[in-house]
Amino acid sequence: MSGRLRLAGQVAAVAVVAALLGLLAWKLTQDESRVTSELQRGGTPTAPPFALERLDGKGKLELESLRGKAVVLNFWASWCGPCKDETPLLQEGWKRWQGKDVAFVGVDVKDFRGDAREFLERYGVTYTNVYDGKGSTVGRYGVTGFPETYFVDAAGNVRYRIAGPVEDAAELDAGIERALAPA
Amino acid sequence: MRAAAVALIALLLAGPAGASEERPTAAELESELVCPVCDTTLDTSNAPVALRMKAFIRARIAAGDTKSEIKAALVDQFGPAVLAEPPKKGFELLAWVLPLAGLVLGAAAVGALAWRWSRGRGEDEPPDDSGEPLDPVLERRLDDELARFDP
């Protein structure tokens, strides 16, 4: 009886250790700041895919549907002060780059949908914006604050990142040119 | 008589819970909801999104929404992570069950060990002399050595 009890205890201990190792492996593969850390090491990580609800009510947008274009991916929220300063610059940039194989996508994060729509209307934003109230993209991209902008190339790889607001048109254009440059 | 007392206690307990559901206060909701950018409850946060959520809660209370309705509206916007306590269903149920299961398993393990330990101590088993006999030469030498310590 005691031998059987001991065996059961050993099996349970091994199972617990295996479960913890599995959890560790899962956590490592889900590394939250992979994109940012790879960029900092000079790499061009694959932009984590997403399918998010469009704020204009036209269904969902899948990032992968924009393959073949450079994508300016801007993470923002209506309650974020610097986002208000940056948005007119992005809207002007969108007008400048429209029709040149460049897409602008705003990702509204941890926000009220209504506030986000009001914000877009107030600032006259016409580029595509999607809603990520739960912030599911934040960890996968390694977003450290708002706003933050990622420049994705036509193959779906992140080439450049601006943490904080885009300061001027030259900085925005430089990011886009990096995303358009051949690999 | 006992049944009446039990019913009275149940009513006394159910009263405040029902009132809280129907007429929640901003303070209680703010302690049960989490700011999505700072991961602390709303009542301890002054982050812009937390302030916006507090304003939303006050507006919904003024509009006559119940506690569940206000929480559901916020979960719809920000996801279930906005709840300070995970819901008792689906995957989140694990957050409630696992600690209890751990506690029960730990208590069972401690109980089993204590039982074995007390059982081992309680039995006056005779010394095990079933092993191989000592070499006679060695035994004699051991006796001689021990004799030296006799008074």
For residue range A29-63, what is the model confidence (pLDDT) as tens digits?
665 567 888 888 899 999 999 999 999 988 999 99
In the block, tokens 């943490």 appear at A163
Chain B residues within 8 A of A110 when measuring between CB atoms: 36-37, 49, 78
Q: Give contacts of A 52-111 with B, CB under 8 A.
A: 77, 79-81, 110-111
Judge if ipTM > 0.95.
no
Q: Are the Cβ atoms of A110 and B116 closer than 8 angstroms?
A: no
Residues A99 and A22 in one domain: no
How far apart are the C-alpha atoms of A129 and A55, rounded to whole Å?
Answer: 6
Residues A139 and A174 in one domain: yes
**Which among A181, A182, A176 is positioned nearest to A103, based on CA atoms?**
A176
- Rounded to a whole number, what is the distance in Å from the CA of B151 to chain A's nearest CA? 46
Residues A130 and A107 in one domain: yes
Q: Are the Cβ atoms of A111 and B77 closer than 8 angstroms?
A: yes
Residues A15 and A60 in one domain: no
Residue B99's contacts (CB-CB under 8 Å, 6 or more residues apart) are none
Residues A43 and A115 in one domain: yes
Q: Is the pTM of this model over 0.80?
A: no
Chain A residues within 8 A of B78 when measuring between CB atoms: 110, 133-135
Q: For residue B112, give the chain A residue with the closest CA.
A: A5
- Of A47-56, A63-72, B96-105, the poorest mean pLDDT is in B96-105
- What's the pLDDT score for residue A30? 60
Q: Are the Cβ atoms of B48 and A9 closer than 8 angstroms?
A: no
**Which among B72, B33, B80, B79 is positioned nearest to B52, based on CA atoms?**
B33
The separation between the first and the last C-alpha atoms of chain B, rounded to the nearest angstrom, is 80
- Rounded to a whole number, what is the distance in Å from the CA of A71 to chain B's nearest CA? 26
Q: In what order do the strands lie in the sheet with A158-163?
A: A60-62, A51-54, A128-132, A102-109, A70-76, A148-152, A158-163
Residues A9 and A68 in one domain: no
Residue B121 pLDDT greater than 90, yes or no: no
Residues A90 and A7 in one domain: no
Burial environment of residue B96 by CB neighbours within 10 A (0 to 12, 13 to 18, 19 or more): middle
How far apart are the C-alpha atoms of A164 and A75, rounded to whole Å?
Answer: 10
The domain total for chain A is 2
- What's the pLDDT score for residue A154? 97
Residues A18 and A99 in one domain: no
Residues A91 and A174 in one domain: yes
Residue A64 pLDDT greater than 60, yes or no: yes
Residues A90 and A138 in one domain: yes
Residue A1 pLDDT greater than 60, yes or no: no
Mean pLDDT of chain A: 92
Instruction: Report the CATH architecture of B21-86.
Output: Orthogonal Bundle (1.10)
Q: Are A105 and A128 in contact (CB under 8 A)?
A: yes
Residue B2 pLDDT greater than 70, yes or no: no
Which tens digit of pLDDT belongs to each residue from B18-58? 677 888 999 999 999 999 998 899 999 999 999 999 999 99
Residues of chain A above pLDDT 70, percent = 95
How far apart are the C-alpha atoms of B29 and A73, rounded to whole Å?
Answer: 35
Q: Are A103 and A42 in contact (CB under 8 A)?
A: no
- What's the pLDDT score for residue A52? 98
| DSSP for residue A104 | E
Residues A39 and A17 in one domain: no
Q: Give contacts of A 15-44 with B, CB under 8 A.
A: none
Q: Give me the residue spans of the domains in chain B.
A: 21-86
Q: Are the Cβ atoms of B81 and A134 closer than 8 angstroms?
A: yes
| Interface A-B: count of C-beta contacts within 8 A | 32
Residues A54 and A127 in one domain: yes
- Rounded to a whole number, what is the distance in Å from the CA of A173 to chain B's nearest CA? 30
CATH number at residue A138: 3.40.30.10
- Show the domain range for A165: 34-180
Q: Are A169 and A160 in contact (CB under 8 A)?
A: no
Average pLDDT of span A120-138:
96
